[in-house]
Amino acid sequence: MSAHAQFSPSSAATWLHCSWSARNAPAQEMKPVSTIEKADEGTRRHAVLERAVRDGAIPNEPEDFRIASLYVDFIRQLEPGAEIFVEQRVWLRDDCWGTVDLYGRHPRISTILDYKNGVWDVYAEKNVQMLSYAAMELGVNRAEWWRFVIFQPNGLQVEDDPFRQWVAHRSEVEAHRTRMLAAINDHSGPRPGPHCRWCKAFQLCPAMSDDAAFLRGAMSRPIEGLTTEDIVRMLRMIRALHDVKKVYEDALLTHLKLGRTADGASMQPKRSFRAWNDDLQAANYLFQQFGAKAIKPVSPAEAEKLGPAGKAYVAVGAHKPQGELTVKY
């Protein structure tokens, strides 16, 4: 078994639609430096949670203590008799396997729990990564129900509960397993779509190459002369280039630091803005001088985290406006 699964659950949202992407993904994925740093912090936090469950080692650092305590408390509430596995390897076949953060095996309802360290919200409902984990266990687990849990304490919309849950019947997991096998056995060419956003093989994709050539000509045409399909092809290509823009900016910065120059390229500090030395002191002073108009309230989600009073006020003092229409491509 290789060090990395060709068809991994974490990238299932892409290869379930386009198996070509998994077969042609490079071993080393292009990532901005900032993304690598955040991934390293996520790896460290995963290790903290693993020790908390395996050894009962709750760390002293305040944020690690808060997150590890929530994690362990949730696990204690699982069904009596559940067999708990931490960082458990599961697999469907040699090229399709993964590692579950926490797996509670129970004859009636089994639990798949995945920790997310980022701020962009991840939802448990219909989550293909966790459905894939469960599908890999169907041969050894006869549970009729599956509970999928996302634990994301740093999410933007966590509100008062960092755990998002969804329960699926075994039949839904079985259907997902069938879909996985069909995708893995599909040796057709690339299939462009919204899933291209997360594709690791877009640089090698012939469909993307065709779109790059198309983009050059299409941008010289008046926009009213473009078809809907033309606009979609253009936007997918522009988005793909934007996704890797930071990677190339990091590379250019490295070149310039090493003294390698190019016409029109230079280094300069990012624009900075003044910041309060003490946010709380500033808020108190400005409120005393100018009243409520000088203070910007925290968001409803942040207010709920402050305590019961914040949560109670959000229930009556906040609303969720209807989202503006957007496009998906």
pTM: 0.81
**Residue range of the domain that includes 118:** 9-184
Same-domain status, 77 and 154: yes
Q: How far is CA 152 from the centre of its chain?
A: 10
Same-domain status, 40 and 175: yes
Same-domain status, 238 and 286: no
**Nearest Cα to 163, choosing from 122, 212, 118?**
122
In a domain, 97, yes or no: yes
Same-domain status, 81 and 140: yes
How far apart are alpha carbons 104 and 106 in whole angstroms?
6
Same-domain status, 22 and 117: yes
The 10s digit of each residue's pLDDT in 56-95 is: 999 999 999 999 999 999 999 999 999 999 999 999 999 9
Provide the strand spans (E) within 121-192. Answer: 145-151, 163-169
How far apart are alpha carbons 251 and 244 in whole angstroms?
11
CA dihedral over 245, 248, 252, 258, signed as positive or negative: positive
In a domain, 271, yes or no: no
Quote the number of domains for the chain: 3
Burial class for 145, CB neighbours closer than 10 Å (0-12, 13-18, 19+): middle
How far apart are alpha carbons 97 and 6 in whole angstroms?
8
In a domain, 262, yes or no: no
The 10s digit of each residue's pLDDT in 214-251 is: 999 999 999 999 999 999 999 999 998 998 899 899 99
